[in-house]
Amino acid sequence: MAKGGSFEREMATQLSLLWSEGEREDLVRRTSGSGSRFTSRKKVNKDTAFEGGDLTLADPEIRPLFDLFSIEAKTGYCSKSKQKKEGEVTSFRIQNWCVLDVLDSTKTKRDDAFIEMWKQARRDADAQLKSPMLLFRRLTRKSCIVLEDFLVRSLFSFKQGGYPYSSIQLYLKEETITIFNYMEFADWMWGSFKKFVLKFNKENYTP
């Protein structure tokens, strides 16, 4: 939990900087219990504004972002496996999950860590009538951002140019999503992210 909380705070800062073009780092905060209060109240048909997902607004300045997105921030999810070295000496090897588990996992249950994270992001977003944004970081790797196809196509149209970095488009049974390296995505959207969200909300979002 401590590791997850640290990642949530880090990404809250990064989103604040992206929105404000480097001027502020305090616009986003963690939700109460990483969204648990929203979930428990939803079970008894009570809404809790801006408390779904892992991150929420800390300042009204960034409300348009959370009018559009329900944001999940996930890290960890590694497992340990035994391996023998030097005869009878047993040690542990960390196994990092991979997006390719969607295709080549040998487990009976094909829903790997990534799919479980995206399903939660989608579930929480649907409950709030918002679009899901998933931020994740694997062990010793860089942070990534995942968006649904409709948003990605709108972003490309808004930017009127190709994405200058690598990305992964993943076709799931229910939908298509795209995975970007977060810092590369932020570099591409620097100076445009807030403008895009405001324009998108004006054209598609009814408060």
Residue 178's pLDDT is what? 98
Mean pLDDT of the chain: 85
Per-residue pLDDT of 181-199, as tens digits, reads 999 999 999 999 999 999 9
How many helices (H) and strands (E) are present in the chain, helices listed first? 8, 9
Cα of first residue to Cα of last residue in the chain, in angstroms, is 33
Residue 15's contacts (CB-CB under 8 Å, 6 or more residues apart) are 27, 28, 55, 62, 65, 71
The answer to whether 52 and 36 are in contact (CB under 8 A) is: no
Distances (CA, A) of 178 to 74, 142, 170, 199: 16, 16, 6, 21
CATH class of this structure's domain 2-78+87-104+112-147+181-198: alpha beta
Domain range summary for the chain, segments of one domain joined by +: 2-78+87-104+112-147+181-198
Distance between CA atoms of residues 76 and 97, nearest Å: 9
Q: Which residue in 117, 125, 177, 190 sits closest to 151, CA to CA?
A: 177
- 6 pLDDT higher than 80: yes
Per-residue pLDDT of 50-109, as tens digits, reads 567 999 999 999 999 999 999 999 998 777 666 665 666 566 667 788 888 888 877 655
- CA gyration radius, the chain: 18
Per-residue pLDDT of 100-158, as tens digits, reads 888 887 765 555 889 999 999 999 999 999 999 999 999 889 999 999 999 999 999 99
At residue 69, what is the residue type?
Answer: F
Q: Which residues on adjacent β-strands are paired with residue 100?
A: none
The whole-model pTM stands at 0.84
The answer to whether 21 and 2 are in contact (CB under 8 A) is: no
DSSP-derived 3-state class of residue 160: coil
Per-residue pLDDT of 13-61, as tens digits, reads 999 999 999 999 999 999 975 444 444 434 434 444 556 799 999 999 9
